[in-house]
Chain A
Amino acid sequence: MTGPLRLPARVRRAARPSGTPGDRWSALYAVAIVTLVIGFPLVRSGAHALTHPEVVRFLSDPPYGSPSLLLTVAVVSGIVVGGTIGPAVLRPFLTVHLAGNHLSRARTLLRPFLLAAAGVTAASVLLMGVVAWSLRLSIGLPFGSILVQLGVSACAGWVVAVAWLCGQSLSAPTRAISAVVAAVIGVLLPPVFPHGLAADTGLDQPSLIGHGLAAWGAVAVLSAALVPWLLTRLRGPELLDHAQRRDAAVAAGSVGEVGQALATFRPLPWCGRRIETIREGLPFPLAVAYRDVIGAMRTPARGATALAGTLTTALLLVSAFALPVELAWVSATAGGFLGFASFGAMSDGFRSTVEGAGRPRLFGVSSASLFLAHSVMPASVAVLSGVVASVVGAASGIPFVAGVTACVCAGLLVLTRAADSARGPLPVRLLTPIPSPLGDAAGVRVVMWQIEGTVVSICVTVGFVYAARFTPVALAAAVVVAVMLVLWTARRLRRG
């Protein structure tokens, strides 16, 4: 009988016939070079860019509780995302032969989890490192404080990774409950940095340094103790499902089909099949809108995340009017990116319509009418989010034009999503090689094609936020942009 201690290594070797130690060193060398040549200067320039007095004031004394809110959002997102793609995922072959053997999954899946956790922790440390660096440059933050903040951010990153694993190991209903519980706890717990980033380092109260680090260390150790238990809870079919999805996504992504790659991670409906979905008495567009709402509720985590995302988008756009003009673009960019992503979860109807556009007619209305009917739900959510953000903004003393801008931008983001859904598969002509001194430049075209929706969204939000700050009359240009987006979508639909 093969010794249990040797089997995983042999299986791993068998699963990597083309991998050689030389390849590994080459990859390591490439990572090191890219980090030194591109990564380090990027971080440095990022830190320098944040040294503007207004930015420093904001970073050193952020709004009360905002870092805690950020951490809560990260933890809840980790739990939700874990249900679709978890951190403890092997390739399908290894999932069948390694995670399906007689060894404990606490052992066979520990390595992929630790790799994923290392990535999350590194990202968290990097983010805090940039902030700490800029504070060091601007207000001379001591090294001790920097180390404390890096330590806290590492612990926070680890906790997020464990929450991610937690999401993978839980069933869908339990995951939804856990996400709500985590959100409530996150809101109720005392803020992570109650006195701001610079003031919370305990410079004036040295004992706080030890206490803060000890508390975070304890949380990290406690969460680490949960990892083996969570790993052994993982179920084989779900592990294989995650592995196959990731494989399909990697395959699609490697040929430039990022949209298709992301589609593999769309959660499948699992509840609410008894709810009355088709309302026969309603006009067709309203019946479709009602059906879209119920359909979104059948993937509750996705639907709730999309709703929260659109609301956050509107709040980000409104808050861009409260930030210093040098920082408004950060909030507007985040709003554009998040809005485009969030409306994606409400675009299943658009995608389904496009899929049927080149086939024999199934519905008794034209593709354009069907598209219009499917836009009722996301447009309503956009308006609702804009109104809520306007009210919140008005209560916080932010000018009324901020709310109007949020509504306008949200509406334009829906149109951008519609245009993006109608674009179809990657055109083969984009893959034609373009010789350049730096190599084949066709990849640039493919990347631009992939991110055009995101770019347009960010241009819309940043452009209108700055334009409206300059003069509210500029919002009238939204009509022109809307018409252009509609024509763009119609052209793609006709072609499709």
Chain B
Amino acid sequence: MTPLAHSRDPVVGLDEASVVFHGSVLLPPVSAVAHPGEALAVTGGNGTGKTTLLTLLCGLATPTTGTVHVEGCVPDERSPSFRRAVAGMIGLPPFARDLTVREQLRLVALSWSARSTGLGTLGLLADDWLERVGIPHLADRFPHELSAGQLQLAGLALTLIRPSSLLVLDEPEQRLDSERCAHVAGLLAALRDEGRTLVVATHSDDIVRTVGTKTLDLSSR
């Protein structure tokens, strides 16, 4: 699987994909595409299927009907190339209780790029992402020393530090005040402009307005 950041083939392709579980419709049939540098904002009330749609894109579930493609392939969590292509945050990622925020970022970065980087570069990379997310002052904190909002930002940094061509985020505004929410919206817009494809489920008008280049409203289905 090759990165498609410079091609115009869609990174995400949904064609009448739906999920039915034990007779209950978790996700009604939806169709959408997202190209490199585009952001698909998924909106809708609680229980309309936003998170289910994201789990399809992350390869954590399979559609009952229709098709889902990521970079032209069927999402398969077991495929290393798929795992490299898709970064997702659905709920908080697992934190190591005995590592500081900065160390967690370095460990995740090390697992992806140990051989290609020189000594000390992962520390700089971690500092850069802490800065971009707006929590450089929390670098030396353990997870239990963070508030809910700070954990959300740390989780976002963990998700963003790993390489990906598609970012799948479930309500990144959760637990954040309006100022932090606006900051995150600006960061996601910047990532989109750098060429990453984003699929973001959100209840925040700010994120829809600032980040989304397309909107998929599941309430209307």
Footprint of B on A, CB under 8 Å? 266, 268-269, 273-274, 277-278, 280-281, 283-284, 287-288, 291, 294-296, 298-299, 348-349, 352, 355-356, 358-366, 370
Contact = CB atoms under 8 A, between A and B. Distances in A.
A225 to B, nearest CB: 37
Given A280-B114, A284-B114, A352-B94, A361 B77 contact: yes
7 nearest CB pairs, A to B: A360-B88, A295-B98, A364-B112, A355-B94, A364-B111, A356-B94, A363-B111
A365 B96 contact: no
B107 A360 contact: no
A381 to B, nearest CB: 16
Interface residues of B, number: 42
Given A273-B142, A278-B122, A364-B111, A298 B83 contact: no
Contacts of A281: 119
A366 B96 CA distance: 17
Contact of B96 (A268, A284, A352): A352
A360 B60 contact: yes
Contacts of A287: 107, 110, 114
A362 B98 contact: no
Given A269-B142, A295-B99, A362 B93 contact: yes
Contacts of B117: 280
14 contacts: A268-B144, A273-B100, A277-B100, A280-B110, A281-B119, A284-B114, A348-B96, A352-B97, A358-B60, A359-B93, A360-B88, A360-B89, A364-B83, A370-B111
Best-surrounded residue of A280, A284, A361 (most CB of chain B within 10 A): A361
Contacts of A366: 80
Interface string B197-208: 000000000000
A270 to B, nearest CB: 8
B58 interface: yes
Given A273-B100, A360-B60, A278 B106 contact: yes
Nearest to B86: A360
A277 B103 contact: yes
B75 to A, nearest CB: 11
Nearest to B78: A366
A278 B86 contact: no
Best-surrounded residue of B108, B110, B123, B158 (most CB of chain A within 10 A): B110
Given A280-B120, A284-B111, A296 B98 contact: yes
A361 B103 contact: no
A355 B144 CA distance: 17
